Amino acid sequence: MSFREKIAVLTLIANVLIYGMYFGNTAKAALDGEAVLNAGHMISTIVLLIVVMIVGTIIVSSTAPKDADAPADERDRLISMRSDQIAGYVVSAGAGGSLVLALAGFSVFWIANLVLLALVAGEIVKSVACLIGYRQGV
C-alpha cells in the first residue's frame, strides 16, 4: 500500500469516527429538542480531527520515510484530481441544500451543521474515490 493510499485510509477512518460521534451527539440533541448551535463542540471536533490527522500522518510517514518524501507521479495526480472532482459534487450539493435551508428560514443550527456535513461527506467520498482509484487503477 502506497503512502498516499495509507493517508486516504487514515483520512477515511478519522472522518467517519470523529464526525460520526459529532453528528450522533448533534442528532441526539436535536431529537431532544435542544437544537442550539454549539460552536465550541463544533470547533473542538475540528481541532480533534486536525490533531488525529497530524499524529496519524507522522506515524504513517515514519514507517516509510522514502515513500512519504517521494513526489506524486502522474497516476497519483490523476487519482487525486478525479477524487477531488467527485468530492466537489458532494460539497456542491450540500452547499445548495444549505442555501435552500437558509431561504426557507431554518435556524443557524441546521444550516451550519449541513455545511459541515457537506464538507465531511465530501472528504469521505474523496477518500473512498481515492482508494478505489488505487485499487482498480485509473
How far apart are alpha carbons 106 and 136 in whole angstroms? 42
Q: Given a cut of 90, is residue 137 above it in pLDDT?
A: no
The model's pTM: 0.88
How far apart are alpha carbons 34 and 41 in whole angstroms? 14
Chain centroid to Cα 55, Å, comes to: 17
What is the model's pLDDT at position 66?
84
Q: Given a cut of 80, is residue 72 above it in pLDDT?
A: yes
Q: Any alpha helices (H) in the chain, and if so which ranges?
A: 3-31, 39-63, 65-69, 74-103, 108-136
All structural domains of the chain with their residue ranges: 3-136
How far apart are alpha carbons 65 and 91 in whole angstroms? 33
Q: DSSP string spanning 77-91?
A: HHHHHHHHHHHHHHH
| Percentage of the chain lying above the pLDDT 90 cut | 75
User: How does pLDDT run across 11-40, given as a tens digit for each residue?
Assistant: 999 999 999 999 999 999 888 887 788 888
How far apart are alpha carbons 138 and 134 in whole angstroms? 8
